[in-house]
Structure 1
Amino acid sequence: MNIEQLLYIVEVAKHNSLSIAAQNLHVTQSGISQSITSLEKELELKIFKRSRGHGAVPTDEGKIILKHAYEVLRKLEEIKETANSFNPMEAEELKITACPGLMTLLVKALAAFKHDYPYVNIQIAEKSGSAVIKDVRQHKTDIGLIFYSTDWNINTEGIAFEALFEGKPKVYVSKHSPLAFLETITPHQILDQTLVTYNSEFMQCFVRDFFHKYKPLKVLFTSNNMDGVLQAIMESLAITFAPDFIMKNYHPVMNGDIIPIDLVNHKPFNISLGLIRSEDKHLPAFATKYIHYLKSEMISSNFTPLKLRAIEI
């Protein structure tokens, strides 16, 4: 038995596929197959059931072996990390993938983190929630930040989720809109309005549900550019739905050019911002340190944190 064999069975188990594992590890499929067969002979048990229709599926005994393999590989990562800590000038790398709309928060935390850990190189990518989960599951990123609602059905097998705080969608209108004087607003009061939306999974889900329950609103545009969305609202061209914890830190909302209004007489739709990581990958120490800076930035930015906890989704 060797480390290479453990890497192979873990990668195959992630995808239920020898071919994908071979691609990811840059080895031949036959090489992986022979290596796993050799390990199965040594252990005198089958780790995978292999078939054309279902790929490589762990056996009951194989699941137990895989659990130990994950633990061994995590310990190896810890050993490497400890060795690297003796040479802090050697560059480390931290990869973060987040849903759109969180870049300002991430960069503020990054500024404080880099002051104390200048040798760590950080890569930040913005992707959809499902893409963030996929990257975490495939170990393409160390940590991810996603929005989540209990109304959504998301496959999070192998993913650890920590809810950081919760929010709710509000209606945002121009300060010049007649609606700006309302403290609360009902769905029926905005059915004649034009809508502009930010192109994110969680808000598109909310909008589709709203349209289905009431009626489709006229849509001005949907965009990945938040500045454009905010400008359209300030020009009284449209209104939008958005989570309060995202919008509260944009200057047009802070200075009163855009007014948030509570949406009432509509079913509750709470949104959590959560931190995710792979359950079978050791989290580097500097990743844990960055998370600490991120949480501190949330508190200083007047976010309302949850009692930090892990939840099942």
Structure 2
Amino acid sequence: MELRQLQYFVKVARKQHVTQAAEELHVAQSAVSRQIHQLEEELGVNLFLQKGRNLQLTSVGKLFLARVETILGDLHRAVNEVHEFLDPELGEIRLGFPHSLGIQLIPSVVSQFRKEHPNVKFRFKQGMYNSLIKDVAEGEVDLAFISPSPEKHDQVISEPLLTEELYAILPPNHPLSGCESIKLAELKDESFVLFREGYSLRPIVWNACLKAGFTPSIGFEGEETDTIRGLVAAGMGVSLLPGMALFETSLLQPVKVKVSEPDVTRTIGLIRRSNEELPLVAEVFYKFLLSYFAGSIGKGK
């Protein structure tokens, strides 16, 4: 049994698809299929069943996956510990975050950290709320920024970092675009451009509208802040976005207006695996972040 076989098995189990697993592994599909077949022959069991175009773990496959993930996680940590023992400043931090934080927050904190630790490497992974928790719990990343900050979870612990204000964004020619601030209820007859289901900003905006006394009418849905901003700027509707997502990245930009009522904010937290120590270099970064954001909760930093 080879390490490569176990790595391929875990990737296929997570993707439930040989082609997608091969693409992420940057190898040929036939190579992945061959390694899985050899692993099944050596074990004398079927690890997967075909279900349409996807693969589904068998009962014994699920048992084997749990053990293999533990083994690979221990091996990864062992390799990191050796590297960090030789020189913690040459370690790697695996960091997850939602797309909306990748425009300004992540570059800012990473560049600040690297001023003191210039040789530390970062591996980034973007994701939605549930996928970020899963990535941390399964050891895909060491730490992850997340919004909202989960209050309680069996597999991860969370440290709230900051509270951020959300602003109304309007087309440039909107009647309210010249206002310094508006009440959200003033947008009750507008068509809203929202993130699709699964993105944490969607329920924040939705609940804010309900609090303002109306149910938002959804005209368009998107998956990235650039898409939301672009659609609003083109006159396709209105929306709410956090300040960090409103840095200009194109010529076509919406107008940003403060919402005076109700108070619309999101909390950004940092999650790590519970009951497990971080790699040394990730622990240094963790403490740096807590210091960097100290006092930011409730101040809308």
Per-residue deviation at 1:119?
1.3
Aligned length: 261
**1:35 counterpart = 2:25:** no
Code of the residue aligned with 1:299 in structure 2: it is A
Q: Secondary structure at the match of 1:299?
A: coil
Matching of residues 26-105 of structure 1 within 5 Å: 26=27, 28-41=31-44, 46=45, 48-53=47-52, 55-59=55-59, 61-88=60-87, 91-102=90-101, 103-105=103-105
Paired residue secondary structure (1:145): strand
In the alignment, what sits opposite 2:297?
303
Q: Does the 8 Å contact 2:40/2:47 carry over to 1? A: no
- Asked if structure 2 preserves the Cα contact closer than 8 Å seen for 1:18 and 1:56, the reply is no
How do 1:129-144 and structure 2 match up within 5 A? Answer: 129=128, 133=132, 136=135, 143-144=143-144
CA contact (8 A) 2:146 2:269 kept: yes
Of 261, 268, 271, 1:273 maps to 268
Letter of the aligned partner of 2:75 in structure 1? L
Paired residue type of 2:66: K
What is the CA–CA distance in structure 2 between the aligned matches of 1:33 and 1:225, rounded to whole Å? 40
Where do residues 153-232 of structure 1 align in structure 2 (5 Å cutoff)? 160=156, 162=158, 164=160, 177=179, 185=183, 187=185, 189-191=186-188, 201-204=199-202, 206-207=204-205, 210=209, 213-214=214-215, 216=217, 224=226
Question: Structure 1 pair 140/218, CA: closer, same or farther in 2 (3 Å)?
Answer: closer
TM-score normalized by the length of structure 1:
0.58
Mark the CA change 1:34 to 1:283 in structure 2 (over 3 Å): closer, same or farther: farther
CA distance in 2 between counterparts of 1:52 and 1:239 reads 42
Kept in 2: contact 1:105–1:298 (CA 8 A): no
Q: CA contact under 8 A between 1:74 and 1:282: conserved in structure 2?
A: no
Stretches of structure 1 lacking an aligned partner (at least 5 in a row): 151-157, 233-237, 248-256, 306-313
RMSD: 5.2
Letter in 2 for 1:296: S
Supply the AA of the counterpart residue of 2:55. Answer: G
**Deviation of residue 55 (structure 1)?**
1.4
* Post-superposition offset of 1:260: 5.1
Deviation at 1:111, TM superposition (A): 4.2
State the Cα deviation string for residues 285-309 of structure 1 (Å, max 9, x = none). Answer: 3223222222222215x2249xxxx
Q: Give the 3-state SS of the residue equivalent to 2:76 in structure 1.
A: helix
Partner residue of 2:283? Answer: 288
**SS of alignment partner, residue 294 of structure 2:** helix
Three-state SS of the structure 2 residue aligned to 1:50 is strand
Deviation digits for residues 160-218 of structure 1, max 9, x if unmatched? 463625858656699x84757xxxx562x4547898x7979444555567499446599
Unaligned 5+ segments in structure 2 are 170-175, 246-255
Structure 2 vs 1, CA of residues 58 and 274 (structure 1 numbering), >3 Å: closer, same or farther? Answer: farther
Partner of residue 9, structure 2: 9
Report the counterpart of residue 251 of structure 2 in structure 1: none
Shift of 1:39: 3.2
Matched residue SS, 1:224: helix
The CA distance in 1 between the partners of 2:49 and 2:228, in whole Å, is 48
d(CA) in 1 for partners of 2:5, 2:14: 14
CA contact under 8 A between 1:96 and 1:142: conserved in structure 2? yes
Structure 1 residues 9 and 170: alpha-carbon distance in aligned structure 2, compared to 1, 3 A threshold: closer
Deviation at 1:79, TM superposition (A): 1.9
Question: Do the aligned residues in 1 keep the contact of 2:81 with 2:280 (CA within 8 Å)?
Answer: no
Call closer, same or farther: CA 1:224–1:139 in 2, change over 3 Å.
farther
Point out the structure with max Rg over C-alpha. Answer: 1
Asked if 2 retains the 8 angstrom alpha-carbon contact of 1:162 and 1:275, the reply is: yes
SS at match of 1:144: strand
Indicate the SS of the match to 2:287.
helix
Other-structure match for 2:249 = none
Task: Look up the SS of the partner of 2:282 in the other structure.
Answer: helix
Question: Residue 10 and residue 205 in structure 1: after superposition, are their counterparts in 2 closer, same or farther (change >3 A)?
Answer: same
Secondary structure, counterpart of 2:160 in structure 1: strand
Amino acid at match of 2:4: E
